[in-house]
Amino acid sequence: MPSKTAKKPAAYKAPSFAKNKEYFLRAAKVIPGAIYGHQTPAITVPGSYPYYATHGEGCYYWDVDGNRYIDYMCAYGPMVTGYGNPIVEAAAQKEFAKGNCYNHPTPLMVELAETLVDQIKFGDWAVFGKNGGDMTTWCTLVAREATGRKKIVMCKGEYHGIGAWCTPGHGGLIEEDRMHIHTFKWNDLAGLRALFDKYPGQIAGVIMTPFHHPAFGDSEMPAPGFWPGVRKLCDDNGAVLILDDVRVGWRLSLDGSNEYFGFQPDLACYCKAIANGYPLSATVGRDSLKNAAANVYLTGSYWNSAAPMAAALANIKLLKKQNGPAHMIKMGERLQHGLVARGKAFGFEMIASGPGSIPFVRFGEESNFMRQQVFCAEVTKRGHFIHPHHNWFLSTCHTEDDIDNTLDAAEEAFKIVKKQFGE
C-alpha cells in the first residue's frame, strides 16, 4: 500500500521525447552506434529515457525536449558539486579567458599536485590525465616498469576503462592483449593467493576498485580482513597495489577511499569527482614508485590545460567546506531506505547496496531486471533520472526535498510495476 504520509504527486503527463529521437536518428547516420559506450540507450530502456541534454543547474538537467530531471547519475559521476556551480565555473572561466592551453603547464598544475599530495595521505607525488582510463592504464605500465614483470591481476567484472587490456567490449581485440591479465573474484583472498602461487615472481600489479560495483549487479563491500589481506599478499610477493578510485574517489572520503576502508595502496587513480565535469584525472603515488613513474611516457594534447586544474582546485576546496562525502552519503541513504520502505508497502522486496553516495537499488527475487527496467523507466519519465543497471551517484546539491519528491514518483512507478507483474 502507498505510504499515508506521502504528498500527492503532481498529475502525471508522459514526456515527449520527439526531439531526442530526431537527434538520435540524425546521429545514427553520421556517428557509429549513434550514442556509444555506457550512454547508449540500448542499456537503459529505449524510448523511455532522454538521449540528449541541453543544460543543467545544481542537481537538475534538461533534455532537448525540455524535460527536467533530478539527476541521480550525475553525468555518471563527474557532476559532484552541481551543474554550473558558480564557484567552480568562475575559476575555470578565468583560465579559459586567459588562454587555457599553452606550450607549458601553468603553476596551477604544481598547486594541484601539492594539494593532492597533501590530501591523500599515502601519496608523495601526483600526475594528471584527462580520463580515468588514461590513469588506470598508465598505472599498469608503472607497475611493470617498477617490477620488471609482465602480469597484471584484476577482479572479475570490474571496469577500468577502454584499454585493450581491460575493455569490457570485444571488438578489435587480439589474444595477446590479455595474455598477461589474470582475474580473481571480489573478496576471494584465496583466489588472489592462488594466482600469486601459480605465477611466482611474475605479477607486476594488482588493480582493484575500493568496493565491488559491477554493472547489472549489487555492490559488494570488502569483507573484514579483505583489504589488509590484499595488501599483505602484494607486499609478500613484491607486487604494486593499484587502487582504481576513479568512480568512488571522494564520494566516501576526501582522504581517498582507501582511508575509508583502512588500507594504503601504492598508486591510486582519481577522476570523476575531481573537477565537477571538467576533464581531468589524476594518479597519486608513493615515493618508491617515483622513478618508475618518470620512466613511463605520459602526455596528451590537452593534459596540461589550465581550466580543468583551476576547476579542480576550486571543487576540492568546496567539497571540503561542504563536507561533501557525508552529505552525499546521507542523501543517498535517505533514497535507499525510502525505496526499500515504499517498495515493501507494495509487496516488493527491494535490495539496496553500495554506500549512500553511490547507491544501487533493485528488485530482489528477480535476476532478469525486467521489473527493474520498467520501474526505473517510469521514475525517469517522471523527471527523476535513475539507471536500471548501473550504480547511481549523489551530489552535494541533492536535498531531502529532492529525495522525497523522487520517492513520491517511485510510488507511482511501484504501482505500475505491481499492475504489470504482480508482486
Residue 51 lies near ligand PLP (rule: CB under 6 A)? no
Rounded Cα gap, residues 90 and 344, in angstroms: 45
Closest distance of CB 77 from ligand PLP, Å? 7
Closest distance of CB 394 from ligand PLP, Å? 16
Closest distance of CB 401 from ligand PLP, Å? 29
**Residue 160: which residues within 8 A CB-CB, separation 6 or more?**
132, 133, 136, 137, 154, 166, 207, 244, 246
Closest distance of CB 392 from ligand PLP, Å? 13
Residue 391 lies near ligand PLP (rule: CB under 6 A)? no
Which CB atom, from 58 or from 161, has the smaller least distance to ligand PLP?
161
Residue 353 lies near ligand PLP (rule: CB under 6 A)? no
Rounded Cα gap, residues 397 and 402, in angstroms: 9
**Given the DSSP bridges, would you call strands 240-244 and 203-208 parallel, antiparallel or unpaired?**
parallel
Which CB atom, from 213 or from 334, has the smaller least distance to ligand PLP?
213
Residue 334 lies near ligand PLP (rule: CB under 6 A)? no
Q: Which residue is it, cell 598547486?
A: 111
Residue 183 lies near ligand PLP (rule: CB under 6 A)? no
Which CB atom, from 161 or from 343, has the smaller least distance to ligand PLP?
161
Which CB atom, from 74 or from 410, has the smaller least distance to ligand PLP?
74
- Which of 82, 161, 249, 324 contacts ligand PLP by CB under 6 A? 161
Q: Using N-to-C axis directions, what is the helix angle for 107-119 and 306-322, rounded to 10°?
A: 30
* Amino acid identity at 342: R
Residue 129 lies near ligand PLP (rule: CB under 6 A)? no
Residue 385 lies near ligand PLP (rule: CB under 6 A)? no
Residue 133 lies near ligand PLP (rule: CB under 6 A)? yes
Residue nearest to ligand PLP (CB): 132
Residue 160 lies near ligand PLP (rule: CB under 6 A)? yes
Task: Using the rule CB under 6 A, give the single segment among 6-14, 39-47, 158-166, 260-268 that binds ligand PLP.
Answer: 158-166
- Which of 3, 115, 131, 399 contacts ligand PLP by CB under 6 A? 131
- Which neighbouring-strand residues pair with 360? 353
The residue count for binding ligand PLP (CB under 6 A) is 12
- Which neighbouring-strand residues pair with 181? 152
What track of x and - describes contact with ligand PLP for positions 242 through 281 (by CB under 6 A)?
--x-xx-----------------------x----------
Question: For residues 374 and 270, is the Cβ–Cβ distance under 8 A?
Answer: no
Phi/psi for 351 (5° steps) reads -105, 115
Phi/psi for 44 (5° steps) reads -105, -115
Helix (H, G, I), strand (E, B) or coil at 151: strand
Question: For residues 20 and 64, is the Cβ–Cβ distance under 8 A?
Answer: yes
**DSSP codes joined into one string, 178-241:** GTTEEEE-TT-HHHHHHHHHHSTTTEEEEEE-SSB--TTS--BPPPTTHHHHHHHHHHHHT-EE
Residue 209 lies near ligand PLP (rule: CB under 6 A)? yes
Contact positions toward ligand PLP, by CB under 6 A?
131-133, 136, 159-161, 209, 244, 246-247, 271
